[in-house]
Structure 1
């Protein structure tokens, strides 16, 4: 079987909708209150509202939710380039915190760097979003996602 990565012109809205539904059904995604702002071939934008439960001091989020939203964004971007029915999971990541995550929400912009049949290198930048909507970079993540074919393939 020859690997053909979908392109923006041939990724169906149904495929993207299925990715969104699968991710948002995950218990961690529900706990974090994630929502997609954008979902297209090779890139996504996810947002998470600020919650005191994830803070280490008033107004500042811990690294764990910053990592989680970055990971979800990067690997979701990888999933958009898979053939329908395939699944993906994080196999390796590096997160660099560059500023405190202080704001009303976190916004993660995930993107694909290199897509292959069995793994994708992807990344995400995470921004703290102020009440005024201004974004401030707080972290960047580089990840590798491994892929699995559907059971019948």
Structure 2
């Protein structure tokens, strides 16, 4: 990462450098302090039946959005990682793509509670399909 990058840009670069994010074809639509919106196309490889995403793919989008939002509030020299998350699926994930909106619930020195809502988009209409509540561990990269 370039030292001149803003925290949101550092988070975007870090997430999109991950092989899983690349495999899922994640795209950031918005990234601000404490808030993230990302998009993930529906891929048949992630479906458990034609046109309906499996929970694992939904969880991945939700987790990336929530923890990326938490990452936007980190101090310089810190990274973060998921340590706990609970996903509740409330409707089938069908359509052309998912939109996951992550946000920070409560940030602190070592742990950040974060959340996301995931919407399935079909013909331009968003349907809430899942919600996630998670905890990210804030890791000091200079610590031994």
TM-score of the superposition, structure 2-length normalised? 0.94
2:127 is aligned to 136
Identify unmatched segments of 5+ residues in structure 1: 1-11
**Residues in 1 aligned to 2:51 and 2:24: alpha-carbon distance in whole angstroms:** 16
Q: How many residues align?
A: 141
**Residues in 2 aligned to 1:60 and 1:84: alpha-carbon distance in whole angstroms:** 40
2:74 is aligned to 82
How far is the alpha carbon of 1:16 from its aligned partner? 1.1
1:54 is aligned to 46
**Residues in 1 aligned to 2:91 and 2:21: alpha-carbon distance in whole angstroms:** 23
Runs of 4+ with >3 A deviation: none
- SS of the equivalent of 1:81 reads coil
- SS of the equivalent of 1:101 reads coil
Aligned Cα root-mean-square deviation (Å):
1.4
| Counterpart check, 1:31 vs 2:58 | no
Residue 104 of structure 1 is aligned with which of 92, 96, 103?
Answer: 96
1:126 is aligned to 118
**Residues in 2 aligned to 1:20 and 1:45: alpha-carbon distance in whole angstroms:** 11
- SS of the equivalent of 1:44 reads strand
Q: Deviations over 1:72-100 (max 9, x none)?
A: 00000000000122100000010000000
**Residues in 2 aligned to 1:152 and 1:32: alpha-carbon distance in whole angstroms:** 32
Which structure carries more strand by proportion? Answer: 2
- SS of the equivalent of 2:45 reads helix
- SS of the equivalent of 2:20 reads helix
TM-score of the superposition, structure 1-length normalised? 0.89
How far is the alpha carbon of 1:13 from its aligned partner? 6.2
